[in-house]
Amino acid sequence: MWPWVIEQPFRVGSYGVMMAIGFLTAWWLLARDLRRRGIDPAVAETTVFLGVTSGLIGAKLAYLFTEAPSFEWSDLWSGSGLTWHGGLILAATVFIAYYLLRRLPLRVMVDAVAPPLASGYGFGRIGCHLAGDGDFGIPCAPGWWHDVACMAYPNGMVPSPCEVQGFRYDICPLNAPDPTWLSVHPTPVYEALGAFALFGLLWFLRTRLRIPGLLFAIYLVLAGLSRFAVEFIRLSEDRPDRFLGLRDAQVVALGMVLLGIVVAVSSAVLSRADARSVPSDRP
């Protein structure tokens, strides 16, 4: 891992660097697409600013109120303790409010935001992987996948295999002094690859779909399914189970899928109604 890009004379974290790259890339992509759609590209700057501020605030508050062992006001200023779904929910709410206040076409705007959201998430997950912040998966079972994709995290970042709840593979010596040899699923890498693949798909479709809102619906469904699935191979790290044994992230991910279906159906209905309302040139 590479948690620090620079350590002297001051520290610059790799996670922060990747987040900055993600936000700058999102700004460039959004400004480019808004210009193509005939919308003031300056809206991209405000969108990214609102995304940074509201996303970090929402991610921090969601962690403190739903996952932290205890609420401490001092934790508000720490660099750790962030939940992706808290940031997503608050940022989405702020985006929608801003677009409505500016009287911008909402379905067009959320379509434009969808590809940058996917790419930004990918850069963030690379940052998690470099920082070794704990978003790793369960130990890999012996087999071809273990040899191809799994990896060992250094410096004791991964808990001892004997401490992993539900771990049953017979590769755990009880007296092992250093468990860092244990290979696990690098879930941040899985998610980053999935996010960039989703970005590529959305960027390809953005000029081909004719129904406003449909691109954003595709983002919601695929991003939600991806996050829901990866939680099954991620270590719980004391994240609480909620409804039917699902974690908060999975509940939110299922909500994204359902919302995506609703957005897709409603967008198709609205587009059909708009088409019928256009006056015909025939006598």
pLDDT at 71: 61
pLDDT at 123: 95
Terminal CA-to-CA distance of the chain, rounded, Å? 71
pLDDT at 79: 57
C-alpha 169/C-alpha 179 separation (Å) is 14
In 3D, which of 128, 136, 178, 180 has the Cα closest to residue 154?
180
Q: What stretches in the chain show pLDDT beneath 70?
A: 1, 69-81, 134, 153-182, 237-238, 240, 278-283
pLDDT at 175: 42
C-alpha 39/C-alpha 56 separation (Å) is 27
Question: What are the domain boundaries of the chain?
Answer: 4-137+185-274
pLDDT at 226: 96
Helices (H) then strands (E): counts for the chain: 8, 4
C-alpha 207/C-alpha 227 separation (Å) is 26
Residue written as token pair 């850069």: 123
pLDDT at 241: 73
The pTM (predicted TM-score) of the whole model is 0.85
- In the chain, beta strands by DSSP E: 4-6, 12-13, 151-152, 183-184
pLDDT at 95: 92
The SS3 assignment for 4 reads strand
